[in-house]
Structure 1
Amino acid sequence: MDFESIQVEYAERRATVSLNRPNVMNAMNFTMIQELAQCFELLRENKEIQILVLKGEGKAFSAGGDIKMMLTSGDPKDFEQIMSYITRLTLAFYQLPMITITQIHGAAAGLGFSLALASDVIVAEENSKLAMNFIGIGLIPDGGGHFFMKERVGTPKAKQFIWKGNVMDGNEALKLGLIDHKADDGEIEAMVDQIVGKFLSSPILAMLETKKILHAQKLSELENTLKMETEAQLRMRKTEDHLEGIKAFIEKRIQQFKGK
Structure 2
Amino acid sequence: MKWETVNLDIMENGVAILTFNRPEFLNSVNWQFCQDVPAACRVVSSRDDIKVLIITGAGAGWSSGGDIATLFGMQDPVDAKETYDFSTGIVNAIYELEKPVIAAVNGAVAGASLASCMACDLIVASEKARFAFSFIQIGFCPDSGTSYFLTQKLGYHKAAEILWFGKMLKADEAYQLGLVNQVVSPENLLEETIKMAEKLAKAPLLAIGLDKKLLRAALKNDFYQQAELEAMYQVLTWSSEDFKEGCAAFQEKRAPVFKGR
Normalising by the residue count of structure 1, what TM-score does the alignment of the two structures yield?
0.77
Distance 1:218 1:124 in 2: 24
Is contact 1:37-1:86 (8 Å) kept? Answer: no
Matched, 1:180 2:181: yes
Is contact 2:15-2:194 (8 Å) kept? Answer: no
Amino acid at match of 1:32: F
Unaligned runs of 5+ in 1: 220-260
Is contact 1:18-1:55 (8 Å) kept? Answer: yes
Between Structure 1 and Structure 2, whose CA radius of gyration is higher? 2
Aligned pair count? Answer: 219
Report what 1:195 is aligned to. 196
Distance 2:172 2:113 in 1: 19
Report what 2:80 is aligned to. 79
Distance 2:219 2:5 in 1: 30
Q: What displacement does 1:46 show? A: 3.5
Amino acid at match of 1:64: G
Is contact 2:152-2:219 (8 Å) kept? Answer: no
Equivalences for residues 32-181 of structure 1 within 5 A? 32-181=33-182
Percent identity (aligned): 29
Distance 1:50 1:6 in 2: 19
Distance 1:20 1:124 in 2: 18
Normalising by the residue count of structure 2, what TM-score does the alignment of the two structures yield?
0.77
Distance 1:159 1:108 in 2: 19
Measured at CA, do residues 91 and 11 of structure 1 come closer, stay the same or move farther in structure 2, by a change above 3 Å? same
Q: What displacement does 1:2 show? A: 4.8
SS of match in other structure, 2:70: helix
Distance 1:127 1:89 in 2: 24
Segments of 4+ in structure 1 off by > 4 A?
216-219
Unaligned runs of 5+ in 2: 221-261
Amino acid at match of 1:9: D
Report what 1:7 is aligned to. 7
Structure 1, 210-219 or 161-170: larger mean CA deviation: 210-219
Is contact 2:34-2:89 (8 Å) kept? Answer: no
Amino acid at match of 2:168: V
Is contact 1:135-1:163 (8 Å) kept? Answer: yes
Q: What displacement does 1:37 show? A: 2.8
Q: What displacement does 1:205 show? A: 2.5
Matched, 1:211 2:203: no
Is contact 1:125-1:170 (8 Å) kept? Answer: yes
Q: What displacement does 1:214 show? A: 3.4
Measured at CA, do residues 45 and 78 of structure 1 come closer, stay the same or move farther in structure 2, by a change above 3 Å? farther
Q: What displacement does 1:196 show? A: 1.0
Q: Deviations over 1:106-148 (max 9, x none)?
A: 2111112221111100011112211122112211111210111
Measured at CA, do residues 156 and 207 of structure 1 come closer, stay the same or move farther in structure 2, by a change above 3 Å? same
